[in-house]
Each structure stands twice: as C-alpha cells, then as structure tokens.
Amino acid sequence: MAKYDVIVIGGGSTGTAVARDCAMRGLKILLLERDDIASATTGACAGMISSGLKYMDEPNIVDMCSDEVVNFKRIARHVMEKNPIITPLLEMSDISSGGNFAEEYSKRAETRDVPPVLFLTPEDSLKIEPTLNPDLIASIYFEEYFISPFALCMLQALDAKQHGADIKTYCEVTDILTKKGSITGLQYFNRITDKMESAKTKAIVNAAGPWAHKIAALAGAKLELRLNKGAHVILDRRVVNVGVIAKAIEGRMIYLFPHENTVLLGTTALDTWEDPDTLVASQDEIEYLLKSMEWVIPSIRDARIIRTMEGVRPLIPTWKIPEGDVTRGYEIIDHEPEGVSGLISFTGGKLVMCRHMAETATDLVCKNLGMESECKTHNEPLPGNSDDVDILALAKEYGVSQHTVERMRARRGSETATILELTCDHPEWKTTICTCEPVIEAELRYAIRATFPQTLNDLRRRVRLGTGPCQGTFCTFKAAAILAEELELSGEDFQLEIVDFLAERWKGKRQSIRGEQIAQEELAQGIYACVGNLDQALEELDYDLKPWEEVL
Amino acid sequence: MDLEADIVVIGGGMAGLVAGIRATEEGMKTVLLRKGQSATAYSSGAIDIIGYLPGGTVPLGSPVEGLQGIASMFPFHPYGLLGFTDATSDTVSKTIVEKVRTAVSWLKATLLGSSIPLFGDIDSNLDAVTVLGTVKPTCMIQETMWPGSLMLDADSVALFAGVRGFPVFNPRMAAQVFLEHQISNRLPPRKAGHHVLDLAPFGNNYNISSIEIARYLDNEDNLSVLAKTLKKQAERIGATHIALPPVLGFNRARENQLALQDLTGAHVFELLSFPPSVPGLRLQRGLETAFVNGGGTLLVGHHAKMESLESNIVKEVTAVGPRRNLKISTKAVVLATGKFIGGGITGTENGIRESVFDLMTVSESFRIATSITPQKLTNTIALTHMGHPLFGSGLSVDPQFRPITAEEVHAAENLYAAGSVLAGYNYPAEKSGLGVAIVTGYMASRNAVDYVKGVSA
C-alpha cells in the first residue's frame, strides 16, 4: 500500500496550495480530489484577490490580503489582471462606509502598486464608464487584482506534481482509518479505474471546502460550517469598461466585474443546507442581481446573459448575524484535542488567502511531524511565470492571430511558445476549435497531455473551452473528438463526453435562458438532437443523471 | 404604395419558400421577405417528415406510420390539424397522409430538375449517417447523401474520409461510433476505416470550412487529386462505400459524386452535418431559384413591420430594409418567420412573444405563453427524447392555419402561419422540422390562394 507523509483532501485553491507547500518542503504528498481541480467553490468565484475591501473592520485580515496580493504578483503575474473599479454613489447614504474604506485601502496601496482611492465627479465617472446612471452624485475609484481561479489551482497542482506530489482527480475519500485515536490512512473510490484504493499516512489535511464536515465525520471528528450559496449571472462580453460595485436592494454590496472575455454580475448570499452538487441559481437570485445593478447601470438588461454560475462558501460557523458580518478570516482546526490525532481541517478563508492558509497549515503539519522547514511558496514562481511573452512576435512567427496568442498567454504564460511550437509538425493544429474564447487545437492537445484532464469538462477548466456566448454549440463535438483521440476513448465514451459536457453547460444556461440565448439553444438542440440524434442515445449510452437533473 | 401583391410571405426558409412557390404557381403576385439566413440554410439538408412520435424512443419505419400515430394521438400537432375536414372521422389519418404525400411529392417534383434531386418518400424512413457517426431516421435526402447499400449489404466496408484542418469531421471517431452502433444492432458493415485527406483548398491546411471545400470542388479540375487518394485508400481497406463530409460542391455535387464513384469504384456519399451546412445552403438556393424563376419577388434583407393588428384583415405590410422601407399592399399574408433562430418567436423573462403581429403564443401543450418565463418551459436534462417544451411553443392556429386569439377566433381572416412559428410539435426531438415546414407551407399557401381567389371573384 502506498505510503505518504501527508494526504490532502480537496483540489480547490486551498488544497492545491497545501499540496504545493508540503511538496516544496520535501514531504511525500498525495492530493485526492473527488471531481476535478477547481471544480466546485473555487471554480465558481469571480477571481478577485481582494485587498480586503469588504472587511475593513478586520485590519489584520486586510494586512494579510494586501501582502498576499504582492506575493501573487511575484509568483503568478501571468494569470492575473488588474481592474479599475468604480463605486457610483446615487445618494448620500450610499457613501456611509466610504470614508473608513478609503483610508484603510490607501494606506496599503503603494505596496500593491495601485493608486490611493480617488473620489470622482459625475463627469469624470461617466467618462470612464459611460453606462453609469447619469444621476450619480460622485463615485469612488480604486483598483483591484484578479486571478484566474482555474489557472491558479491548476498551476499549484502542477507545481506540486513537479515537486513530487501525486495528484489524483476523480478519487472520492470513503473512509479515514484511525488506530488508538491517530490517523493511519484512508480509503477512496477511484472513479477512473472504478476501484477502491487505499493509502497510508499519519497526517491528513482536510481542505474539502463545503464538504469538510463530511470528511471530518469519516474520522469521527466534529466540524461545523456555515454553508452559504453565492450565484453569478454571466454576460456575454465586456459590457462595462471597469468593474462596478453597487448597493443591492437590501443594502449588501454586489458587483459587475470584468472576467476573462465576459462580465460577472454577483453575488447573492443565501444560507444553504442543500447538497452543493444539486444547486442552481434561482429566478429570485437572477432578478435580485439584475434589479440591484439596474440602479447604477440602467441598460444592464440589454446585455445578453449567457448563463449563471453558483458555488457554496464554507464559512466559519458564526450564527445569528448576516452572512456579510461573518469574518472572512480562516480557521485551522487541529482535531487532536477531540481524540483524532493527525487530522487538521480548514473553515472560512478567501481565494486571496489560499497560499497563506497553506503556509500556516503546513507549518502545523511539520510541527506535528516533528520536522523543521521553511515555506518557499511566496518566493518561487508558479509554472509559466518565468519570462515575459512577446505576443506580437509569436503571432507573426506562427501565423496565429494575436488575440488567440494573448488568450493562450493569459492561461499558460511562458509555455505559450512551447504550445505554438507544436504547430511546426502539425500546421493543422492551428485550427480554431473554440471560436468564442478562442482556443486552437494545439493548446487542446497540449492541455490534454500536460494537465491530466479526464473529461471534456476538465478541459473546459483548463482552456475555457465552451465558456463563451455559444456555450459549446460549435466546439463540443470537435473538442470531444480530439480528447477521444488523445485518450483513446471508445465511440460510446466519445458520445458520452459530448452529452456530459452539454449537460453541464445546460445547468447554467437553463436558469437564465432568454433573448438571443434561446436562439442559441435552439441551434444547439438542432445540432446535437435533431441532426446528431444524441437525444435518443442516452439509454444506449448508459448516461448517468447528473445531481441537478430530475427524471422527466 | 411601393409594391402591390396578392400574397405577401414573411420569412424565407422552407415554409415560406414552399408557400411562395405554390402561390406563384397559382398565378398569384407574390412578394417574399427574408430577413437573414434561414434555419433551413443551417439545416443538414435532410428532409425529416417524422422520425419519432412525440415523446417516443422507437425510430419510425416510415413517416406514414408516424402520421397515423399523430392522427390518433396528437390532433393539435400541425400534422394533426391537416385532418380537420368535413369528412367523417375514420378517414382522418388517410386525409393527413394524403395531404403530406401531396406536398412532399410536389416538392420532389419541384426540385427534380435542380442540382439537388431528392431521394426517398413517405412510405419509408431512411437511415442517414451523420458526421458524428450516429444514425438518424429521416424521410428524404439529397441524392448525394444517400448511403446506398452500406447498411444492407453484408459484405460492405466503409471508408470515412475527412480533410486535414477541417475540424467539423473527425473520420476516426465517426468510423468508430458508426461501427460500434452497427455491430451492436447486428447490422453491416462489419468493417470501417478512416483516412484524412490533404486538400488545402485555398492554400491553408488549417481552419478550413465546408463552404471553402465545396467551392473548391465546384471547379472540375480540383477533383482528380481527391479521387486518386480516395481510390488508393479505398483499395487499402477494400472499401465498398466512401463517406465524406457534405462538401461535394454547391453546383456540381451530383456530378462530383458520380465522377468519384467512377474513379474509385465505390459508392460515394455525403454525411449529414452541422451549420454552416453545404446541403442546407444548396436546399435554400434551390428553393429560392424555383421561387424567383416562377415569377416571385424576393426581398432579401427585409423584415416585416406591422403597426398592430387592428382590423380583421391585413391590407398592408411594411418591409423594412437596410436603407428603405417599402409599403406593400396585399390580399393575404403567410407568416413563416420561424421560431427563435428565425426570430418569429422571441422570449424574455416576461414571456414568449410573436415578433411581427404580437399574436398570442402558446406552449407546446397549448397553454397561453405570453407571460410564461422561458425557463419554465424547459427540462433539467439538456438532451432528451422529450425535447424542451420551449421549442414546441409558438402560434396556435385554426384548421385553416390562421393564428388564433385568446378568444379562440382567427386573428385576421387573411393571415396564415406556417413552419416553425407554429406551436404543438417539437422538431429537434421528433425529427419533423422541414416536413412540417413543407406541409404547413403548402397548406397555408393553398388556403391563402383560395381566400384571394374568393375575394377577387
């Protein structure tokens, strides 16, 4: 049986960060993820690595966030972008929390390489963002950094792998083994091999996010979480020049953030007891977001909604206060005092803190294992961060559009040249497979070979396949064929990949379907049902209903 | 008045063109407005009449069988409406079948002399093979798309040949899917191979579209390179049939097919494919040519605008073009604006709307849909044999194919509707899209012509 110093459960931002930190300190690591890297909470966030703007009354957290932004700029600048943000004020009461925020933000601005908070006149505000409600009385301007959550997790996992870690996706932990109150190992079901497997270890880090309490329970430990659902509405393009933050109908703050090629409108916050796998955004959530943003961007409903996206926050269990008042700090719980030695769990936290959380947890693991070591994760770059990428030169050299090369760079950084080099032997791999993003065949082949996707949905998280306005209408069958060739899938599995991918896309498209997106869906149904006849193939294909699907 | 017409047809897809051609054949002065590219041009070019009963999972052996099922179980299906006549009930299904047969035979005759002759009839469904390697039941296909004896002859061997840099068709996966399907159904062929051709029609061997290849092959000189490689590859595996993506040309597809068959000794056919679809465009062109040659006036890039439907008779339609508005006086109107792709029906968070006359819309099960949120008309499962009721929503019509109001009377006595703007059938699931378009276009046109003749008399 395989033996590890530490087993990490969960492949989100925290789990992959812990695996990376442990592996860099020389520990033998296994990371188990029951689905794919960044396929749950992390994959549903907007990617803002916030300076802590919502938590200005927790100065130590603001300090930490600010420092972490600087760290990310050092190790992952290629998957980051800086976005200007405007908070328009329509009435004096909108300003209530403005003063303290401006002061706290500006104090730490210089270290993050952003200007201090500015107060803009209505004229200047409208010059920057013409879609704003012209009745605004002023606006607050500041800048925040964003990171691609998928890319961050993937790069952390790849880096951990390069440092010797074993990363296993589609492996769901089914039992944690203990002897006399100490962890001895665990069992997991490998959904790829369809087999139960087990591994030995004395230390487990539980980074299972909204499932952390269930993992703890497998070891007989207690863990409480306050699960809170957040939903986004995704618009088809950059309908605003800058990020916009506004007060929602009940006074919470919501945002409209540029995100890759799209814009995210979010979020809602609803305490939830549902299985996170079954959740979809509700009609009420969609309308809440549109209605709230409409005050400051009156034309928001003219934008084409492509889908919704939802996730569950694993908040620290503080009760009888609104979600917004729960600390965004994190807690690391060592279950040793309750008689489960070797298990530590996370609650709370934010994307921006994931590296910090991993450092603290790894320090604790090392202490428990009786070893001394130093954290290096904030200094050593993630893969692809080494050099600048000359987009214009590469586009010219390989005869690929600048737009394509730039989008590739935003995912792979300095690996872009390596990917493009594949087209020397295979010029046909310059073919654009996903036109919305865009993604060329060479990048798909590279991602399949280098980043262990098991499904087409995994490939979507790697390269943003099928995430644009057409939502996979034109790329699903093309990309599925490439995946099937690379992984040597059967004809049946090739068709299942198509159907599974469309099922996942439909989950988000369905809730907000309206306007042009209905025509888009009619076209998708025309291709895959009417012509492809795949609607009639489900039974023959052994299709498993997804958690959010209901029997007709 | 800028133009005068007997009949204005709004919409230039299959339903509109059938209605338009029929009207010109009856001596009507006909003006047809086409806003943009129709869903027909996006289609695979295969003409589905009915492949599955609504909600059914067993492919129908013939459209006739399906029409008989609809006659007894789905009276408000557009095909079912054909049975509402003065005749006694035991002839309903016969009436429906005969009306469909008439319309389909007429279409076949209309396209007989064109570059896209059709193969098949309503007495049996064909198994058509798609670029995915899947098989679907359909009624008629263009002759270049007929797979011949591939699935009947016990000794047949298939070669799936794609083009390097043309991502729509992966011959290896298509061959695999097709072979797995045939073997599990104990049907020939028992062997299928694949090959990727190097064609580079206009210099590049990447990002190639079906349109480019078709244009390239419309030049007679370009076929020989293709033929030589195909012959070699067919001989390599002993192929009796060669499956190509539908790229054999816009004008010379049939000639190219026959030439390739001569040169390779195998039966050559085109697979069903996705938009942009060469066979869909061929169909669109063939129909438009028939309409214009018959004396019809085609206004491309024009959509219809109506103030509102205040009187019981539509006397005028405004055609809005890029730089002009044309007022057209008319005696009858056929509304064939399509569903969501065509833009005849739209959906917002507030409900489902008809876009030209703001007529009453209904769901697939004929509930008034003008204030139903589109999401409520969908299932949680993306692809199912039930389809999504949203795509069965549209207009409710009387047996004359005149849209009706909430009071269940016709909205106007000279306004008829045809094609996918109609409610009550789910074409992606049933495989009935172009069939309903042909038959309802044919019938709506006939009713409109009768009305105009009656008024003029």
Span A317-326, mean pLDDT? 92
Whether B117 is covered by a domain: the verdict is no
List chain B residues with CB under 8 Å of A545.
381
Residues on chain B touching A530 (C-beta within 8 angstroms): 44, 48, 427-428, 431, 433
- A99 — pLDDT class (breaks 50, 70, 90): low
Give the whole-number percent of chain A exceeding pLDDT 70: 99
Is residue B245 domain-shared with residue B324, that is, in the same domain?
A: no
Asked whether residue B137 falls in the same domain as residue B28, the answer is no
Query: Residue B164: closest CA among chain A residues belongs to which residue?
Result: A428
User: Which of B446, B422, B414, B429 has its CA nearest to residue B342?
Assistant: B422
- Of A431, A521, A550, nearest to B165 by CB-CB distance is A431
Whether residue B79 is predicted with pLDDT greater than 60 in this model: the reply is: yes
Q: Of A311, A306, A260, A267, nearest to A511 (Cα)?
A: A306
Whether residue B409 sits in one domain with residue B350: yes
The answer on pLDDT for A300 being more than 60 is yes
Min distance A547 CA to chain B CA atoms (Å): 10
Mean pLDDT for the stretch of residues A128-139 = 96
Closest residue in chain B to residue A434, using alpha carbons only: B167
Interface of A with B in 1-60 (CB under 8 A): none
Judged against a pLDDT cut of 80, whether residue B193 lies above it is answered with yes
Percent of chain A with pLDDT over 90: 91
Q: Which residue of A has its CA nearest to B200?
A: A428
Return the pLDDT at B113: 80
The pLDDT tens digits of the residues spanning B424-453 come to 999 999 999 999 999 999 999 999 999 999
Q: Is residue B183 part of a domain?
A: yes
Residue B332, strand partner residues? B7
Tell if the CB–CB gap between A522 and B339 is shorter than 8 Å.
Answer: yes
pLDDT tens per residue, range A168-180: 999 999 999 999 9
Q: What is the count of structural domains for chain B?
A: 2
Q: Domain check: are B39 and B139 in the same one? A: no
Residue A239, min C-alpha distance to chain B (Å): 19
**Tens-digit pLDDT profile for residues B256-285:** 999 999 999 999 999 999 999 999 999 999
Helix or strand run (H / E) with residue A523: helix A516-525
B239 lies in which domain range?
131-272
Task: Look at A540 and B3; give whichever has higher pLDDT.
Answer: B3
Interface mutation vs chain B, best among A509, A533, A552, most B CBs within 10 Å: A533
A505 contacts chain B (CB < 8 A): yes
Q: Is the pLDDT of residue B86 over 80?
A: no
CA dist., res. B62 & res. B54, Å (int): 15
CA angle A140–A146–A150, rounded 5-degree value: 150
Residues of chain A with Cβ-Cβ distance to B388 below 8 Å are: 521, 525
Cβ pairs A/B, distance under 8 A: 183
- Mean pLDDT of the B387-396 span: 98
Final residue before a domain boundary, out of B235, B252, B272 = B272
Mean pLDDT value across residues B309-332:
92
Q: Chain A partners of B352 at a C-beta cutoff of 8 Å?
A: none
A320 CA: distance to closest CA in chain B (Å): 34
Q: Please tell me which of the candidates A283, A529, A538 has its beta carbon nearest to residue B373.
A: A283
Taking only the tens place, the pLDDT of each residue in B27-73 is 999 999 999 999 999 999 999 999 999 999 999 999 999 999 999 99
B79, part of any domain? no
* A431 with B206: Cβ contact below 8 A: yes
Residue by residue, what is the 3-state secondary structure of chain B? Answer: CCEECCEEEECCCHHHHHHHHHHHHCCCCEEEEECCCCHHHHCCCCECCCCCCCCCCCCCCCHHHHHHHHHHHCCCCHHHHCCCCCCCHHHHHHHHHHHHHHHHHHHHHHCCCCCCCEECECCECEEEEECCCCEEEECEEEHHHCCCCCCCCCCCEEEEEEECCCCCCCHHHHHHHHHHHHHHCCCCCCEEEEEEECCCCCCCCCCCCHHHHHHHHCCHHHHHHHHHHHHHHHHHHCCCEEEECCCCCCCCHHHHHHHHHHHHCCEEEECECCCCCHHHHHHHHHHHHHHHHCCCEEEECCEEECCCCCCCCCCEEEEECCCCEEEEECCEEEECCCCCCCCCEEEECCEEEECCCCCCEECCCCCECCCCCHHHHCCCCCCCCCCCHHHHCEECECCCCCEECCCCCECCCCEEECHHHECCCCHHHHCCHHHHHHHHHHHHHHHHHHHHHHHHC
Could you report the per-residue pLDDT of A485-514, keeping only the tens digit for each? 999 999 999 999 999 999 999 999 999 999
Query: Which pLDDT belongs to residue B297?
Result: 98
- Comparing CB atoms, the residue among A518, A538, A552 nearest residue B379 is A552
pLDDT at B308: 65
Tell me the C-alpha distance between B430 and B415, whole Å. 27
Instruction: Tell whether the model's pLDDT for residue A96 goes beyond 60.
Output: no
Report CA torsion sign: B13, B14, B17, B19.
negative
Res B195: pLDDT:
98
Residue B185's CATH number: 3.40.50
Residues B344, B412 within the same domain: yes
CB contact under 8 A, A515 and B391: no
Same domain, B201 and B333: no
What CATH class does A2-41+150-224+328-368 carry? alpha beta
In a shared domain, residues B303 and B419:
yes
CA B394 to chain centre: 17
Residues A326 and A318: their CA atoms lie apart, in Å, by 6
B-contacting residues in A 406-435 (Cβ below 8 Å)? 427-433
In a domain, residue B112? The reply is no
Asked if A294 reaches chain B (Cβ–Cβ under 8 Å), the answer is no
A56-88 pLDDT per residue, tens: 778 889 999 999 999 999 999 999 999 999 999
Residue A490 to residue B427, Cβ atoms within 8 A: no
Last residue of a domain, one of B272, B299, B314: B272
CA distance A297 to chain B (A): 18
In a domain, B369, yes or no: yes
How far does B384 lie from chain A, in Å, by closest CA?
5
User: Is residue A459's pLDDT more than 90?
Assistant: yes
User: Which pLDDT band holds residue B89 (cuts at 50, 70, 90)?
Assistant: low
Residues B257 and B321 reside in one and the same domain: no
Per the CB < 8 Å rule, is B385 touching A530? no
pLDDT at residue A282, as a whole number: 97
Judge if ipTM > 0.95: yes
Co-location of B259 and B298 in the same domain? no
Q: Mean pLDDT, to the nearest integer, of A29-52? A: 94
Q: Note the CATH number of domain A81-144+226-320.
A: 3.30.9.10
Nearest-CA distance from A195 to chain B in Å?
A: 26
Cβ <8 Å between B428 and A478: no
Tell me, yes or no, whether B403 and B441 share the same domain: yes
Same domain, B202 and B347: no
Q: Inter-chain contact A481–B391, Cβ cutoff 8 Å?
A: no
Same domain assignment for residues B29 and B146: no
**Is B70 among the domain residues?**
no
How many C-beta neighbours within 10 Å does residue B2 have? 11
User: Structural domain boundaries of chain A?
Assistant: 2-41+150-224+328-368, 81-144+226-320, 431-536
Integer Cα distance of A82 and B87 in angstroms? 74
Average pLDDT, chain A: 95
CATH number assigned to the domain comprising residue B58: 3.50.50.60
Q: What is the pLDDT of residue A55?
A: 77
User: pLDDT-derived band of residue B334, with 50, 70 and 90 as boundaries?
Assistant: very high
